Amino acid sequence: MSHSLRTKDFYFCALFILMTGISTIATATTTTTTTPSLPGSYCPDTNILLIIAEDLSSSLDFVMQSRAAQTRSDQIEMLAMLNASGITLKQATSRGAGARTALLINSVILSRAKENNTQLLTWFPLLHSALLTLPYDAARNAADDAIGRAEEILQDNQNADPLDQLGKARHFLICDDLDIPIQAAIKEQVTLLSHIRQHKPVATKDFDKLINSLRTALAYVLDNSKT
């Protein structure tokens, strides 16, 4: 009798452990798939960050060469190096599937100025295809939902702005900690270029904001790609 009871106790314990494990797995799975994504938190992995570090380092070097040319009053060299800096900066913004998709969304947003709703809708198959290149996660789902709402607004001629939804979709696929300083650097680079081309005076200190933004972006990249 005692042996039979021990056997039953063993089975009950095994069943309890099994059911507890299944419950834990189900809870973990639910948590993973239902956790909302925060806009601006889609940051690249280490391999992509290291490539971005190369872009930012090259851009910073070009800026320093441009500033050195300014001290020699060599406007041709100053302009050439600043142009090169801008090219590598733009390249840095396209690294990773999330960033590439965000740039595509931004291109669609910019196209609205010249295109009507029917023409704008022709971009959406490309947007949906771009999303399929991303891992299936909360950020992609949030971006997909926003793009879907924008498409519905255009199809149904709803009294709402589809660009607001596209802007939300873009924000779900970028990394604010990286994108904000890079965009600030691009803005300063464009301003400096404009001043040089208009033959406005440019002092060494006018490079400070651009350099500081690049240093901020580079510090983030290096801090988050340590092994």
Considering the domain architecture, whether residues 101 and 13 belong to the same structural domain is answered as no
**What gap in Å lies between CA 73 and CA 71, rounded to an integer?**
5
Residues contacting 44, CB < 8 A, separation 6+: 52, 95, 96, 98, 99, 175, 178
Looking at the structure of the chain, the number of domains it has is 2
Per-residue pLDDT tens digits for 56-110: 999 999 999 999 999 999 999 999 999 999 999 999 999 999 999 999 999 999 9
In a domain, 38, yes or no: no
pTM, whole model, 2 decimals?
0.81
Considering the domain architecture, whether residues 153 and 96 belong to the same structural domain is answered as yes
Considering the domain architecture, whether residues 94 and 21 belong to the same structural domain is answered as no
**What gap in Å lies between CA 188 and CA 142, rounded to an integer?**
32
Considering the domain architecture, whether residues 103 and 23 belong to the same structural domain is answered as no
Considering the domain architecture, whether residues 68 and 15 belong to the same structural domain is answered as no
Considering the domain architecture, whether residues 3 and 110 belong to the same structural domain is answered as no
Say what the pLDDT of residue 36 is: 63
Domain enclosing residue 100, as ranges: 46-223
Q: Which of 11-20, 21-30, 93-102, 172-181 has the lowest mean pLDDT?
A: 21-30
Considering the domain architecture, whether residues 12 and 103 belong to the same structural domain is answered as no
| C-beta of residue 42 within 8 angstroms of C-beta of residue 139 | yes
Cα maximum dimension of the chain: 101
Say what the pLDDT of residue 37 is: 77
Per-residue pLDDT tens digits for 140-193: 999 999 999 999 999 998 888 999 999 999 999 999 999 999 999 999 999 999
Per-residue pLDDT tens digits for 101-139: 999 999 999 988 777 888 899 999 999 999 999 999 999
